[in-house]
Amino acid sequence: MTRPRTLHELVAEGAAEPVEGWDFSWFDGRATEERPAWGYSGLLRDRLSRAHAVLDIQTGGGEVLAGALSGGTRVPDPLAATESWPPNAVLARRALAPFRGAVLLAADDDGLPVRSDRFDLVVSRHPTVAVWPEIGRVLAPGGVYLSQHVGAGSNRELTDFMMGPQPVHQGRSPARAVADAQAAGLEVTDLREQRLRLEFFDVGAVVYFLRKVAWTVPGFTARGYAEPIARMHAHIGEHGSFACHATRFLIEARKPS
């Protein structure tokens, strides 16, 4: 019979796992996450099949873009991506090399290092921040921006458990995104929102998630949050899991011809 892992052992596992890239396979058997009904990867693959010049903003490790291209989709030329964290940029260059993709270092909240009116498709999955004037600038006339954003109050139950009650800021709301897109001269052609269930089955998965999805608890460290981590371990032991809810919204916007 397998001995249950202790609080210390579980925390050590979650604290040791590398956080580069957006591969979440480590969570298999330890956490589950409901996926949005619209299927971002499928939508991305469809748009890529018709695009000529593509930019992926805040690509992470390039996994999502590379996965969409690997199914035999015609490879756009040029194909470019931006990423702000150098370790992720290394992974992205490796992932996109088979498709001759260029990965450019750029701060998430800064200008995009590409020329204006260049891309007929700009995409981003879970951008930290969407700099709408820059998105509008780099889109070619008639070009499209497709993105899946993290919505306001995402995983609020987990944030509040770890930090105490926190205000929900509306900077990530769909309404704010629509207003900012329109202010940048874009026409919003699609907007969908969904609330999704996440469930954690051990505290090590919680620790790893909070390290990887850093905006959930800003400044999180396992040592700094030892007391709520111990309470989380006790909660999961009593209830079998800890559940919270993410919000996601899909937005598609077009630059007038």
What are the boundaries of each domain within the chain?
7-254
Q: How confident is the model at residue 3 (pLDDT cuts 50, 70, 90)?
A: confident
Provide the pLDDT for residue 233: 98
Mean pLDDT, to the nearest integer, of 95-124? 97
Provide the pLDDT for residue 74: 82
Q: Give 7-254's CATH code, choosing from 3.40.50.620, 3.30.700.30, 3.40.50.150, 3.40.50.720.
A: 3.40.50.150
Contacts of 108 (CB under 8 A, 6+ apart): 58, 84, 127, 128, 129
Q: Evaluate whether 131 touches 84 at the Cβ level (below 8 Å).
A: no
Q: How confident is the model at residue 22 (pLDDT cuts 50, 70, 90)?
A: confident
Provide the pLDDT for residue 72: 76
* pLDDT of residue 26 exceeding 80: yes
Provide the pLDDT for residue 247: 96
Q: How confident is the model at residue 1 (pLDDT cuts 50, 70, 90)?
A: low
